[in-house]
A and B are shown apart, each in its own frame.
Chain A
Amino acid sequence: MSDRILEVEGVSKRFRKKTAVNNVSFSVERGQITGFLGPNGAGKSTSLRMSLGILAPDSGSVSLFGGPPRASALDRVGFLPEERGLYRRMKVIDVIVFFARLKGVAPDEARRRGLKMLEEFELGHAVDLKVKELSKGMAQKVQIISTLIHQPEFIILDEPFSGLDPVNQKSLERIVKAQADAGRTLLFSTHVMEHAERLCDKIILIAHGNKIFDGTVEQALGEVPRRVILETGCDADLRALLAPYGDVKADGQTPDGNLAWTVELNQRADAQDVLKACVDGQVKLARFEPVRAHLHDAFVHMVETHGQLAEETV
């Protein structure tokens, strides 16, 4: 059995005069949670649609479960699209059974699973309600149940956290983790980095239709310069002292009368080196704070860098 569930090779897609996706390649490994990150309009949804064969790429190829993304492969995939909705006049259980049957689940089994999942998602009371009677959060849970009801091997969630309140976002994170623990492969797109940082084994960053990063979260964080913030109670100029460890900037005087500094560490240095140099140099430290980079910083840094590069190229 191949370890790669999805393999996208050099796909491009244009809509009239706009290139939505430009020569993008990536793969999704079995059993991993892969985050597909990028700002709005970056080409995430188009890439996901091409991955499932909903859209045909202008060039490049897609391999899903080792073959072209045919309709038969969709039974093994659970897809929650960004633009999602349900038949408003149908009962909750009927909608779930309908989507399960579309994926090949037998009617009785679909109903049994639907009732069980509704209980698990704390929607047991809503079985016979019509979709139009549900709140937005409840409807989103029903959509997620409809996506997972056929127990797919590969789950694709397009912006699953959008429109959810913090409680429901947390609840969805638990669902994603539970599915991963059950051995399923997940690919989800988002522009909220906190979710990706907490959940993903691997991230793919896309901006302006181009892939700009593909790797682990740690690797992504490595792309952002690490920083140390210092405040000194003396007039000493730290630039010469700390220059071997990175780029040193004076940030001016703080309200307490201290002098503030930021050191952007170079590849070889770490925060301990800076602290040791200050101690050895008898610098009177009022504050020493190594700043841990977040995926958000990496995201912004990479998108900005890519934007500058793109402008320079033009």
Chain B
Amino acid sequence: MRAIYLIARREYLSYVATWGFWLSLASVPMFMALGLGLPILIENSQPTRYYVLVDETGGELNDAVRAAIAEQARRNREEALELVTEMVGDDPQVQSMLEANMPEPADEADFVRVHSFEDTTIEALRPYLTGERLFISPSGEETELFAAVYLRRNGEAIEIDYWSRNLTNASLRSQIGRALGDYMRASRLRQEGVSLEVLNAADSLRPDVRELSPFRETADAEITSAERLPFFVAVAVAFGLWIIIFSVVNMLLTAMIEEKGNKVLEMMLSSARHHEILTGKLFGVAAVSFTLLAVWGSISMAGGALFQTAATAAGLPIADIMSSLLDPGLIFPALGYFIIGYFVYGAVFLAIGSLCETLQDAQTLMSPIMLVMMVPLFLVMVALDTPDSPIIAVASWVPVWTPFLMLARLPQDPPMIEILGSTALMIITAIVVIWGAGRLFRMGALNQANQETVKNWFRFGQKKTTG
């Protein structure tokens, strides 16, 4: 036990004392913050785009477009105000302050129409569109022209010529297209004697669908979104489990290869037995992964609590997600599956590491194992849509996939015999794999076996080449 503790402690400290560990620790919250903040940042840093709109019909379509774009800007402003009101509460003082400081729709628009060009033919505007020439924008800056839009009628149809060198940003084109589409429909309906209001009212007609659980009485049988969440959360946790196990066992592999390269193993073997070294390393890196999990978990919880109001206002059921995540029916199996999955894959990766001198050597042996590891990743994605698929049910009996697939299936309440049976099979496999990996580790540590030895095991029936 002393050797296991000391080896585990050394392993743990050797990781914790590196920059890489602190970077990994910081990287997840950093990427989460980036993931949340980047779209907002990108949205806010959009430059104002200037365009020229030429209505060749004499103003009929121009008015329709202007009205539709103004309406869209007004709706955006109202939605933003509602969101802030939900976040900060319904304080009239705050409300009036917000109203006063909220930019006017025209000021905040991403696209601003310009009227300063006297010659609006495409020949005249082409150098501004290609960036060869710049013009003075209404805010006084020299800038390029984003687009030139020509509207004309062809009988009842409306033609839009949209000139722009930006091929990816379709917002303006869509806005004008939608506005004129609405205008065309309204015109046609007016001709038929139907007002646009009537059409909108007809469009908004939807049946009221109620999803009910047959396990409950009719009065309270309706299924809420909170009840659906555990399925998504379980799949997300299975995904997370896969990522964590994969990252951590890779740490084991590289550490083992480094140790083999440094020829420390035989020094260690004079002080501890193979199984003590193997177990110590597994526990040491497990402690590293629990540290990562604890820190990331705490940050997520704190972040969740901190942004709960904002998330709720944005329509995210954060409280329900939290309660699904902390459900003992999920968290304890997840912990158990993590431990067993980690020990199985960790032992295999350690054994591979003990057989190899370099990472290149290891890659040959890793490829088939990586393929086996990738399978549950795809199956978990399938489980999101069809958790009751027979393929998922059968695959969750494969011991090395059980931790991920059974976890994803848990909210489906699979038969107890399946849970217990697959878990028992997984534990037996774990014991066999760890025993086998221990033997391989023993041979690899003393250079009695290498990656060629393993390759030879799989060459049954192949004709041996002799020199």
- Residues of A in contact with B (beta carbons under 8 Å apart): 15, 49, 52-55, 71, 74, 77-90, 98-99, 101-104, 143, 146-147
Contacts and interface: CB of A to CB of B under 8 A. Distances in A.
A99 B264 CA distance: 11
A79 B262 contact: no
A81 B267 contact: yes
Contact of A86 (B14, B267, B272): B267
A268 to B, nearest CB: 48
Contact of B6 (A53, A71, A101): A101
B2 A104 contact: yes
Nearest to B2: A104
A15 B262 contact: no
Contacts of B6: 98, 101-102
Contact of B263 (A84, A89, A101): A84
Contacts of B3: 71, 102
A85 B267 CA distance: 7
B448 interface: yes
B contact residues, range: 20 to 34
B10 A52 contact: no
A54 B270 contact: yes
Given A87-B14, A102-B3, A104-B2, A143 B267 contact: yes
A116 B82 CA distance: 73
Contact of B271 (A85, A90, A103): A103
B263 A85 contact: yes
B7 to A, nearest CB: 8
B395 to A, nearest CB: 38
B14 A84 contact: no
A103 B271 CA distance: 6
Contacts, number: 65
B446 A55 contact: yes
Interface string B1-21: 011001100100010000000
A284 B280 CA distance: 77
A71 B276 contact: yes
Given A87-B14, A87-B264, A102-B6, A79 B270 contact: yes
Nearest to A79: B270
Given A55-B446, A89-B14, A71 B267 contact: no
Contacts of B2: 101-102, 104
Given A49-B446, A71-B272, A87-B262, 11 more contacts: A54-B446, A71-B3, A71-B276, A81-B270, A83-B263, A83-B265, A84-B266, A84-B267, A85-B262, A101-B2, A102-B268
B269 interface: yes
B273 interface: yes
Contact of A54 (B10, B262, B269, B276): B269
A67 to B, nearest CB: 16
Across chains A and B, which 9 residue pairs bring their CB atoms closest together, nearest first? A85-B263, A79-B270, A81-B266, A102-B271, A85-B262, A85-B264, A83-B263, A83-B266, A54-B269
Contacts of B7: 102
B145 to A, nearest CB: 59
B446 A71 contact: no
Interface in B420-467: 446-448
Contacts of B447: 83
Interface string B260-288: 00111111111111001000000000000
A86 B14 CA distance: 13
A55 B263 CA distance: 17
Interface string B64-78: 000000000000000
B10 A98 contact: yes
A75 to B, nearest CB: 8
Contact of B272 (A15, A80, A85, A102): A102
Contacts of A98: 6, 10
Contacts of A85: 262-264, 267
A81 B446 CA distance: 11
Contacts of A104: 2
Nearest to B3: A102
Contacts of A15: 448
B273 A77 contact: no
A104 B269 CA distance: 15
Nearest to B272: A102
Contacts of A74: 270-272
B262 A77 contact: no
Most buried by A among B3, B7, B447: B3
A81 B266 CA distance: 6
Contacts of A49: 446
Contact of B267 (A52, A77, A146): A146
A24 to B, nearest CB: 18
Contacts of A146: 267
Nearest to A88: B262
A134 B354 CA distance: 25
B262 A99 contact: no
Contacts of B267: 81, 84-86, 99, 143, 146
A97 to B, nearest CB: 10
Contacts of A147: 270
